[in-house]
Structure 1
């Protein structure tokens, strides 16, 4: 502001008008006041004055007198001087005190402006003060009875209450059922489902909710609530709704190395063991068979009510194909197969009827000595069909090895037969000569005897 001092224009900073913040400067226009000259600049012909400097010394003496008379628990009248996000400054008549935001109301307060307004006159209670720093902690809510003391004495565990969500956290939600009376709904009490979820998935600040009182401690002023208790526990009659052998549609929730966790309905979970996914495929990890969020058909194999878990199967939806394929994949039979995976220990081979076989590296060698690759389709000879262990062992090299062996055996057999034919005349020649000789000698002897 500009101040006229004996015809000289002096400058009055807004912060030097009074000890408290000034919001309306117009009320000072035309007003005659005393000022203290705090600065003169002859070169720029500039004069700075202050009214605050005159009253600070007097206020300092007043503060000492006021503080000397303060007592904890004393109730004083004050005026709201300033409002911040963390609290309210109160003018107690020359000395300031602070009401922290947590001491404004027994209920939750997002901003002090929800409770007080500027220039409002209030009764406040002194909570604490510091003689040296001249800091005074004030309270407003302490003048009101604690809401827990006024809570309905008939309220008990199991009762239903209505409230408003005032604070959200990952682990739960705080619900105000009366001003200053809050209860915690833990995330585990929001749904019968055992899947880890955040409380924000169920509600948000400002929601009006109905809940059931789970615990109530009036001495500690604590209360826990639940909303899942408003619905029937799905495991109460699990044997009736999901009997063993019944078929259902489930949603894939999680994978482990040993199986798939699925949810049939909210709160009803089950495990499909990796061995119960397929009759024919060797599944190394469930992610090879299905995906998260996908639906999958299941059969109830076992019910564990105590641990709230079902044992489920997927392959049981179909008959065991191993029972009828023994006559097709007989040892020694030739089957066409496609290599679908190469491993250090051998190859996985896709066969007809949805079956898979396995061949070790030595049984994969082609006739030209090369090795096949993934995607190659070859003929394989069945070495072993084991329906108990659900294994089919195959060999490609055995096909031409057995053919070569058969040809070798045929050649050996032919040589033996030829050898016998060649040896047979040699053995009969002496017999033939002896026989003829004997006949000639007998004839000559006969003629000699006849001549005599």
Structure 2
């Protein structure tokens, strides 16, 4: 990628070139140097098919991604969203440096447009696939309140998962709210792998326990009402005996 001819040749250099066009009337001709070597894009679909894995060198940054050179004349773009499964990268320079070597996967190939779309995070498994099982809706975990934020708080389960606790779900059994640094049990009430969003609740833990206690008490009371006592049974037997004696 040349910004000017001076990046490639200097005045006075002797070069070899191919004649591309010739205009006798205007006494002009255009020359080419790259035509002396094979076009690396000629067999691009064979060398870099979609899904293939390669190593490349970071050549340049943009606000939206990283340009990686696979070989001289062939480079591709890694969009910032394809750098990491877990890290929220604001600028590529936070993740890598010019000159670094990165493993990449070919995601898209546009032969006519001479464009390659690459991905780096795709070279490893998505840890959120496992988190989807470990932190699924309904699962319970113990953690401490990390920060009090607007409309709630955050809790850190591991280096990748920071869950949000809505304010009303911070309520403890005694009616007070959890404070920063306070450890408690939480239940996952929302999990989104695509948006990397996890929402947890402490309130549902004790509300669920209260509901269980209420159901248990109701069941016990119902059983006591329906279950006849020994005295009731004896009275009914005596009543039946009296009726039978009366018939005699």
Query: Where does structure 1 lack aligned partners over 5 or more consecutive residues?
Result: 1-194, 425-430, 436-452
Report the CA distance shift for 1:370/1:415 in structure 2 as closer, same or farther (over 3 A): closer
Match of 2:161 among 347, 352, 356: 356
Structure 2, unaligned runs of 5 or more: 226-230, 236-248
1:405 maps to which of 207, 210, 217: 207
TM-score (norm 1): 0.40
* Kept after mapping to 2: 8 A contact 1:271/1:312: yes
Q: Distance in 1 between matches of 2:66 and 2:38?
A: 26
Secondary structure at the aligned position of 1:326 is classed as: helix
The answer to whether residue 134 in structure 2 is matched with residue 328 in structure 1 is yes
Whether the 8 Å CA contact 1:214–1:223 is kept in 2: the answer is yes
CA separation in 2, counterparts of 1:379 and 1:366?
Answer: 12
Cα displacement (A) at 1:342? 9.5
State the SS of the aligned residue for 2:68: strand
Please give the root-mean-square deviation of Cα atoms over the aligned residues, in Å: 4.2
TM-score using structure 2 length: 0.66
Matched, 1:254 2:61: yes
Q: Alignment partner for residue 223 of structure 1, among 15, 19, 29?
A: 29
Partner SS state of residue 307, structure 1:
coil
CA distance in 1, matches of 2:178, 2:83: 36
Rate the CA distance shift 1:350–1:267 in 2: closer, same or farther, 3 A.
Answer: farther
C-alpha separation between the residues in 2 aligned to 1:201 and 1:378? 63
Corresponding position of 2:242: none
Q: What secondary structure does 2:67 align onto?
A: strand
What SS does the corresponding residue of 2:49 show, helix, strand or coil? coil
CA separation of 1:300 and 1:414: change in aligned 2, threshold 3 A? closer
In the TM superposition, what whole-angstrom CA distance separates every residue of 1:312-343 from its partner, at most 9, and x where no partner exists? 2222212333333333113232154896x998
Structure-1 residue corresponding to 2:20: 214
SS at match of 2:96: coil
Alignment partner, residue 302 of structure 1: 108
Q: Decide which of 86, 92, 95 is 1:289's aligned counterpart.
A: 95
Query: Does structure 2 retain, via aligned residues, the 8 Å contact 1:335–1:382?
Result: no
1:348 & 1:266 partners in 2: Cα distance? 47
Conserved in 2, the CA contact under 8 Å of 1:273 and 1:313? yes
Q: Which residue of 2 aligns with 1:71?
A: none
Q: Distance in 1 between matches of 2:134 and 2:98?
A: 36
- 1:232 paired residue among 38, 41, 44: 38
1:267 is matched with which residue: 73, 77, 101?
Answer: 73
Q: How far apart, CA to CA, are the structure 1 residues paired with 2:106 and 2:14?
A: 39
Q: In 2, Cα distance between the equivalents of 1:212 and 1:363?
A: 75
Residues 240-263 of structure 1: per-residue CA shift (max 9 Å, x gap): 222232211122323243x33322
- Aligned partners of 1:357 and 1:391 also within 8 Å: no
Deviates more, 1:281-290 or 1:364-373: 364-373
Q: Is the 8 Å Cα contact of residues 248 and 297 (structure 1) preserved in structure 2?
A: yes
User: What is the SS of the residue equivalent to 1:327?
Assistant: helix
Superposed displacement of residue 232, structure 1: 1.1
- Secondary structure of the residue aligned to 1:324 is helix
Q: Secondary structure at the match of 2:131?
A: coil
Q: Aligned ranges for residues 88-127 of structure 1 at < 5 Å?
A: none
Structure with bigger gyration radius: 1
Residue 313 (str. 1) matches residue 119 (str. 2): yes
User: In the TM superposition, what whole-angstrom CA distance separates every residue of 1:167-217 from its partner, at most 9, and x where no partner exists?
Assistant: xxxxxxxxxxxxxxxxxxxxxxxxxxxx35232221222222222222222
SS in 2 for 1:197: coil
Bigger relative contact order, structure 1 or 2, given CA contacts below 8 A and separation 6+? 2
1:198 paired to 2:4:
yes
